[in-house]
Chain A
Amino acid sequence: MNLDMLTNWVNSITVGIVLLLIGVYGIMTQKNLIKIILCIDIIFLGLILFFVGSGYTEGGTIPLLGEYTLYVDPLPQTLMLTTVVVELSVTALALALVLKIYETSKTLNVKELES
């Protein structure tokens, strides 16, 4: 019974939200620039899980016209393809900036950079 309740709760929507919160927590607490950028990625991973999960239908199949009556919502999945691309470019730019910061300051620690 308890396990059933757990499996009801553990779906990609809740996992996505938890990942998002972990990412936000990480941005606030981490001191290393690379880790902060990884936290941004975790936030967006959570969001992707959330979106894909929100389009899921119990027992649904691939969304092909005419063949099936019950299918998953294809729109969130296509949206997430765009988000993946956007996130890739954000991460690439962030890492390039980190590289430049390391070249000029010789440190990745946020506290040392502030002073």
Chain B
Amino acid sequence: MSHTVILLVVTPLMTAFLLSMTAIPHKVAYTTLKRIRMLLSVSGFAGLCVLLGTAGPHVLSGEVLTYQLGGWSPFLGIALRLDALSFLMATIAVLVSFLTMFYSFSYMERMRGLGKYDTFYFLMMTGMMGVLLTRDFFNMYVFLEILGLSVYILISSGEKKENYKASLKYLVLGSLASGLFLLAVGILYHVTGSLNMDYAAQGIQGIVERNPSVAALVFALFVVSLGLKSGVVPLHFWLPDAHSMAPSPVSALLSGIVLKITVYCMIRVVPFFGPQFYQGVSPVIASVGAATVLGGTLLALSQKNIKRMLAYSSVSQIGIIITGIGIGTDIALKGALFHILNHALMKSGLFLCAGIMIHQSGTRDIPHLRMGTPGIAASFVVFSLGVVGIPPLNGFVSKFIICYGAVKAQYDGLAFVILIASLISCSYYFRVVQTFFSRRQGEKKEKRRKKKGEKKENDPETPLQLSNWMRIPVYILAVLCLLLGLFPSVGLKAVELAVTVGGG
């Protein structure tokens, strides 16, 4: 029990190490190696699930599990902490990446270097778990870099020109963001003398009172660097490229959880400066969130490529979460955290569906998309209704709570912005849904092509056999969305606990 917290970081790291040894280009043992890789990946995730399961009852009863690395006191060494907030985020991350892993068994099979893909998949899990658990700012930077590096490699695993370009663009901006983060950590250490969040939080109180400009500088550096990584509107320009050019399962992970990790850092960092400071900056963060909501929605409206559209939609949904954090009341924070959970399920589902649809139709243009199978189309409809926020689905509940929190905190304009954005998002999601019902256009083009004797469009993602590996994760995500919408109290209970920990 005492080592559960550190094992959450070590398990994926060890799995990554073992997986890296199976990445041998050996033709004879190809199927054996593939089986070993599958077994290792599944057992790695099973281990994570077991660890979360053993820690779950303790955390949900309000206990906070801490771990001192190497037995050093938290002032000198690195402390890890698993509380309700990090437990919630870790559960989301493990759940979504577990399902996406099954999808990528089948999806990534045609791509070379599957062993590499699995290795960096687990390194990414290591980075995420580390960021979620650590109580040390410098350690957070290191884990953010581990997460970043493995994500850059995962994006480039499609091995096409576009993948490399998107990956490098993300790398340059990600490094710039971590540079700013490191500068903030440096100034923070300089003025407070500690890197541990609890000790530095005590030190920063005095700084906020005596020298508010330094506190504001540190805060601004944190928010700009984390905003750059989570695609807040003036800094969102890299996001659509990275998220749309990556292979579909990687896009699902990027939009579904990697963005949420930086938002989680923001939830940790913003209240860190004390309640008074929080109240002072709350209108700024809330208006940045509102700008992100509007900007993302309007840009998504003009997209023709389905994955770019989904990426811009992610920008606007992140904006809704940031608005919730900015308002800062318990209700709004509850809505924001619940929206993190919901958006992780919905957007990863949407990207997985989009991957299947792109394969089936051989194009990314929305008017020429085909629905794949009726089951996939139905799941796509469920996810898009969820993102738009139609009542029986989970997206409605969290958006409603955020809007309710906004109105209660006298931010009526923000609630209005979120509602308008939902209305606009209707139009761009239903444009995709509409193509499922109008087959004629696609058939016409097919006929014309046959007449001219042209080949099918040479899209990088060519059709592939649709296997159950790919279908079932999508269905599970869709069912989870429906269940969370019908019985939101289950999710809300966990979220409420997390708010009491994270808000303070």
Contacts and interface: CB of A to CB of B under 8 A. Distances in A.
Contact of A90 (B171, B182, B183, B186): B171
B116 interface: no
A70 B479 CA distance: 64
Interface in B133-176: 138, 142, 145, 149, 152-153, 156, 160-161, 164-165, 167-168, 171-172, 175-176
Nearest to A89: B149
A51 B187 CA distance: 9
A83 B182 contact: yes
Contact of B176 (A24, A33, A100, A105): A24
A7 to B, nearest CB: 21
Interface of B: 138, 142, 145, 149, 152-153, 156, 160-161, 164-165, 167-168, 171-172, 175-176, 179, 182-183, 186, 189-190, 195
A101 B176 contact: no
Nearest to B173: A27
Nearest to B191: A54
A6 to B, nearest CB: 23
Contacts of A72: none
B183 A86 contact: no
Given A43-B175, A43-B176, A93-B153, A86 B145 contact: yes
Contacts of A98: 168
User: Interface centre among B142, B145, B168, B189, by most A CB within 10 Å?
Assistant: B168
A79 B186 CA distance: 10
B176 A27 contact: yes
30 contacts: A20-B179, A27-B172, A27-B176, A33-B168, A36-B172, A37-B172, A43-B175, A43-B179, A44-B175, A44-B182, A47-B179, A50-B186, A76-B186, A82-B138, A83-B182, A90-B175, A93-B149, A93-B152, A94-B175, A97-B156, A97-B167, A97-B168, A98-B168, A100-B156, A100-B164, A101-B161, A101-B168, A104-B164, A105-B161, A113-B165
A54 B186 contact: yes
Q: Taking chain B's interface residues, is the majority helix, strand, or loop, or is none over half, making it mixed? A: helix
A82 B186 contact: no
A17 to B, nearest CB: 8
B176 A94 contact: no
Contacts of B186: 47, 50-51, 54, 76
Nearest to A42: B179
Given A97-B167, A101-B161, 14 more contacts: A20-B183, A23-B179, A40-B179, A44-B182, A47-B186, A54-B189, A89-B149, A90-B145, A94-B168, A94-B172, A94-B175, A97-B152, A97-B156, A101-B164
Contacts of B165: 101, 113
B176 A90 contact: no
A90 to B, nearest CB: 6
A54 to B, nearest CB: 5
Interface of A: 20, 23-24, 27, 33, 36-37, 40, 43-44, 47, 50-51, 54, 75-76, 79, 82-83, 86, 89-90, 93-94, 97-98, 100-101, 104-105, 113
Contacts of B175: 40, 43-44, 90, 94
B458 to A, nearest CB: 16
A90 B149 contact: yes
Nearest to B150: A93
Contacts of B171: 90, 93-94, 97
A76 B189 contact: yes
Nearest to A98: B168
A98 B168 CA distance: 8
Nearest to A17: B183
B176 A40 contact: yes
B156 A44 contact: no
Contacts of B149: 89-90, 93
Top 4 A-B pairs, shortest CB-CB distance: A104-B161, A43-B179, A54-B190, A97-B168
A77 to B, nearest CB: 12
Contacts of A47: 179, 182-183, 186
A93 B142 CA distance: 16
A104 B190 CA distance: 46
User: Interface centre among A24, A97, A98, by most B CB within 10 Å?
Assistant: A97
Contacts of A97: 152, 156, 164, 167-168, 171
A36 B171 CA distance: 11
Contact of A79 (B138, B153, B160, B190): B138
Nearest to A101: B164
Given A43-B179, A50-B183, A76-B189, A82 B142 contact: yes
